[in-house]
């Protein structure tokens, strides 16, 4: 009879479920570890993302101004503009370059030859990232 009792008590102790206290302690430890590792990383990536967006906004203003300077001072050859080519690797700031992609939207009417409407799209490059930021539309006329 004793043997039967001892066997049954052993099998019950083997299958014993977690106590509430044990579960709470385990969850607390998991929570602490999670916060310890997750919080600073999440904050750092959040701030880095915001900073990157701000930097892109700043560079976009400089790139657009550079494009306007080049277009209005006629620094971009006529053929580049009308053939839909791009102007690549234009330095904007340290580690930042821009490329300007030209698209002719309106062909010249018969009575105004060589009058074209061109759209320039500004694409910023920073490391391996490329971002399309602005576009500028202007008319060019070859006399």
Partner 1 sequence: MKRHAFTLIELLVSFMLFAIVVGAALSILFMYVSTEKKVAVIAEEIQKEERAILRLRDIFAHVYTPSKGDKSKNQYYFYAEEAIEKGARTALVLTFECGPRREITLAQDPLAKLYFDPSAHALVLYLWPNPARTSPKKFRTVEEREVLFDNVTDCAIEFWTPPKKDSADEAKWVTSWPRTNDGPPHLVRITCKREPPGADLVLAFPVRHPLTTIEY
With respect to partner 1, which residue has the nearer C-beta, 128 or 132?
A: 132
CB of 60 to partner 1, least distance (A): 9
Residues 6+ apart with CB under 8 A from 27: none
**Footprint of partner 1 (CB under 8 A):** 25, 28-29, 31-32, 35-36, 39-40, 43, 46-47, 50-51, 53-54, 57-58, 61-62, 64-66, 68-69, 71-74, 78, 93, 115, 137-143
Closest separation in Å from C-beta 114 to partner 1 = 8
Q: Which is nearer to partner 1, 43 or 88 (CB)?
A: 43
| Three-class HEC string of 87-130 | EEEEEEECCEEEEEEEEEEECCCCCCCCEEEEEEEEEEEECCEE
Residue 15, classed as helix, strand or coil, is coil
């Amino acid at each position: 009879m004793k043997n039967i009792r001892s066997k049954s008590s052993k099998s019950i102790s083997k299958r014993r479920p977690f106590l509430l206290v044990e579960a709470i302690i385990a969850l607390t430890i998991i929570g602490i570890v999670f916060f310890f590792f997750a919080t600073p990383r999440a904050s750092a990536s959040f701030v880095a993302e915001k900073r990157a967006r701000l930097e892109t906004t700043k560079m976009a203003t400089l790139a657009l101004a550079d494009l306007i300077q080049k277009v209005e001072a006629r620094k971009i050859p006529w053929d580049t503009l009308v053939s839909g080519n791009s102007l690549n690797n234009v330095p904007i700031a340290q580690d930042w370059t821009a490329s300007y992609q030209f698209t002719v939207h309106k062909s010249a009417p018969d009575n105004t030859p060589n009058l074209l409407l061109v759209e320039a799209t500004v694409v910023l490059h920073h490391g391996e990232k490329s971002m399309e930021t602005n576009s500028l539309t202007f008319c060019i006329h070859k006399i």
